[in-house]
């Protein structure tokens, strides 16, 4: 009987152990099996941590495995510049951050050599993740262990400090030229009051109104006359006259060309002015 009990107990323990082993195998193998590893370098990896998600077109496909400080070779130069990111010459000499990403190979098909690796913010608590844009079809596919260059996120802290600087400069400028500015403003105020006075005077004065009326009517008559004249020129009479003129010029051409041309040019100008 005791032998039986011992056997049964051992069997139960074995069953528990096998459950644990099964869970361990599944837990260890499943997420890590068939993963593609990429290395992405950054100057500034704004808050990325180990385990931060990696997304392609917004879908989670992997995570950040390791973060290491990686001494870059002299020949390598990071080329893509983003507004706000620190990309000075002195910075390229420093050791950038290298992240190792493990990515689902199914998603890796759409990642190409020209894909961009942005660092984005998401969620209510603002967790960071790496967003990979799908690359162009013609570019080469990525392979296990490839080294790519990440797009640095805009450094909010630097942007803030820069804008703060700018604001300070503007403030000091205003502070320095306080008198000039107040003077200008005063002048502008005076000018506008004068203009206002003039306008009200114009509005009120009867004399100006009647004069303006006369001026307008005469201008109208003038434009009507001009209109008639141009119509005549465009009409058949005008055309005939032009033809006659051109014939005259052709005939005169073989004669003293220069003198005639000069003469006509002068006359022509006069005609135009007339």
In the complex, which residues of this chain contact another protein (CB under 8 A)?
2, 4-13, 16, 19-20, 22-23, 26-27, 30-31, 49-53, 60, 63, 65, 123-125, 127, 129
Report CA 94 to chain centroid distance, whole Å. Answer: 28
Shortest distance (Å) from residue 107 CB to another protein: 11
CB of 141 to another protein, least distance (A): 22
Backbone angles phi, psi at 62, to 5 degrees: 180, -160
178-204 and 156-176 are packed helices; what angle lies between their axes, rounded to 10 degrees? 70
Residues in the chain: 274
Residue 31 beta carbon to another protein: minimum distance, rounded to whole angstroms: 7
The residue (of 120 and 162) whose beta carbon lies closer to another protein is 120
- For 21-76, the DSSP string reads HHHHHHHHHHHHTT-EEEEEEES--TT--TT-EEEETTEEEEEEEEEEE-PPPSS-
Cβ closest to another protein, residue 53 vs residue 84: 53
To another protein, the closest distance from the beta carbon of 195 in angstroms equals 56
- Find the shortest distance in angstroms from Cβ 75 to another protein: 33
- CB neighbours of 60 closer than 8 A, spacing ≥ 6? 53, 54, 129
Instruction: Pick the closer one to another protein by CB: 64 or 142.
Output: 64
Nearer of residues 11 and 216 to another protein, judged by Cβ: 11
Query: From the CB of 128, what's the least distance to another protein, in Å?
Result: 9
9 vs 140, which CB is nearer to another protein?
9
Is 96 exposed, middle or buried (CB count within 10 Å of its CB: 0-12, 13-18, 19+)?
A: buried
Within 10 angstroms of residue 78's Cβ, the number of other Cβ atoms is 18
Would you say 49 and 124 are in contact if contact means Cβ atoms under 8 Å apart? no
Alpha-carbon distances of 50 from 2, 45, 91, 102, 143, rounded to whole Å: 53, 12, 24, 11, 22
Q: What is the nearest approach in angstroms of another protein to the Cβ of residue 137?
A: 26
Q: Choose between 3 and 79: whose C-beta lies nearer to another protein.
A: 3
Q: Measured from the CB atom, is 101 or 149 closer to another protein?
A: 101
């Amino acid at each position: 009987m005791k032998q039986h009990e011992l056997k049964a107990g051992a069997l139960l323990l074995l069953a528990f152990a096998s459950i644990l082993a099964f869970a361990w195998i599944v837990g260890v193998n499943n997420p890590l099996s068939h993963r593609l590893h990429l290395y992405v370098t950054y100057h500034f990896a704004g808050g990325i941590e180990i385990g931060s998600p990696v997304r392609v077109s917004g879908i989670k496909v992997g995570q950040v495995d390791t973060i290491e400080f990686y001494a870059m070779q002299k020949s390598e130069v990071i080329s893509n510049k983003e507004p706000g990111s620190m990309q000075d010459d002195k910075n390229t000499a420093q050791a950038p951050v290298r992240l190792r990403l493990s990515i689902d190979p199914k998603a890796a098909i759409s990642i190409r050599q020209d894909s961009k690796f942005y660092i984005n913010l998401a969620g209510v608590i603002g967790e960071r993740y790496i967003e990979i844009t799908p690359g162009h079809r013609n570019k080469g596919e990525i392979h296990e262990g490839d080294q790519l260059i990440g797009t640095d996120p805009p450094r909010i802290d630097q942007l803030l400090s820069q804008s703060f600087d700018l604001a300070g400069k503007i403030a000091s400028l205003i502070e320095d030229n306080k008198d000039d500015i107040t003077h200008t403003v005063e002048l502008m105020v005076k000018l506008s009051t004068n203009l206002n006075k003039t306008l009200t005077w114009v509005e009120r004065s009867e004399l100006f109104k009647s004069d303006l009326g006369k001026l307008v009517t005469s201008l109208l008559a003038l434009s009507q006359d001009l209109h008639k004249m141009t119509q005549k020129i465009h009409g058949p009479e005008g055309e005939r006259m032009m033809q006659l003129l051109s014939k005259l010029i052709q005939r005169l051409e073989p004669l003293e060309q220069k003198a005639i041309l000069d003469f006509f040019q002068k006359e022509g100008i006069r005609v135009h002015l007339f």
